[in-house]
Amino acid sequence: MKAKFIHRCIHVLDKEASIAFYEKALGFRVVREIIPEDASWSLTFMLNDETPFEIELTWNRGRTEPYDNGSDDTHIAFEVDDFEAFHALHEEMGCIAFENHDMGLYFIEDPDKTWIEILPPKQS
pTM of the model: 0.91
Asked whether residue 123 carries a pLDDT value surpassing 70, the answer given is: no
Asked whether residue 124 carries a pLDDT value surpassing 60, the answer given is: no
| Mean pLDDT rounded to a whole number for the chain | 93
Sequence ranges of the domains in the chain: 7-62+75-119
In this prediction, residue 50 carries a pLDDT of: 92
**Neighbouring-strand partners of residue 106:** 99, 118
SS3 89: helix
State the sign of the Cα–Cα–Cα–Cα dihedral 98, 104, 110, 112: negative
pLDDT digits (tens, 9 = 90+) for 17-31: 999 999 999 999 999
Q: Please state, in angstroms and rounded to a whole number, the distance separating the CA atoms of residues 24 and 122.
A: 23
Q: Which one-letter DSSP state was computed for residue 49?
A: T
* Topology of the domain covering 7-62+75-119: 2,3-Dihydroxybiphenyl 1,2-Dioxygenase; domain 1 (3.10.180)
Higher pLDDT, 71 or 33: 33
